[in-house]
Amino acid sequence: MPEATRLNKAEIVATPITGGAFGLTTMDVSGADTLTVQAQAAGAASGDWTLIVVPVQGDGVTLQPDGMAIAAAQTVAPTFAAGKVNAWSRYDVTAFDKVAIKFRNTTGGPLTIDRLTATIGHH
């Protein structure tokens, strides 16, 4: 299998998120096969935040509800080590033109996304 080619990249860096809120970035994935998302944030436990990818509806603006999230084809769930929580997931986005990547703070207090990187590719 040939190595994947990077087509596009989105990043969220050093972004504070209040308790219960989420950080969001949208990404054009038309023509792509995969979306890989990697994230790191300060935290005290593996469950301090979650990461989901939802389709954007045909109007290019309206997000599908969280219950319609795209299932990850491969994932490493958020894992706590040395004061940081890290995770990555790969999604099949062949059926979508645009998606939203949602990073939700599940704690009662603030936390900061150190870095969230999303890369699309095709084989």
User: Over the stretch 84-109, which tens digit does the pLDDT of each residue have?
Assistant: 999 999 999 999 999 999 999 999 99
Give the domain ranges of the chain: 5-122
Residue 6 has pLDDT above 60, yes or no: no
Cβ partners under 8 Å of residue 115, min gap 6: 11, 12, 13, 14, 38, 39, 40
Question: Rounded to whole angstroms, how far apart are CA atoms 52 and 22?
Answer: 10
Question: Rounded to whole angstroms, how far apart are CA atoms 1 and 40?
Answer: 29
- Model confidence band, residue 7 (pLDDT cutoffs 50, 70, 90): low
State the pLDDT at residue 34.
95
3-state helix, strand, coil in the chain (%, to 5): 5, 65, 35
Note if the pTM is more than 0.85: yes
Residue 45 has pLDDT above 80, yes or no: yes
For the domain 5-122, what is the CATH code?
Answer: 2.60.120.380
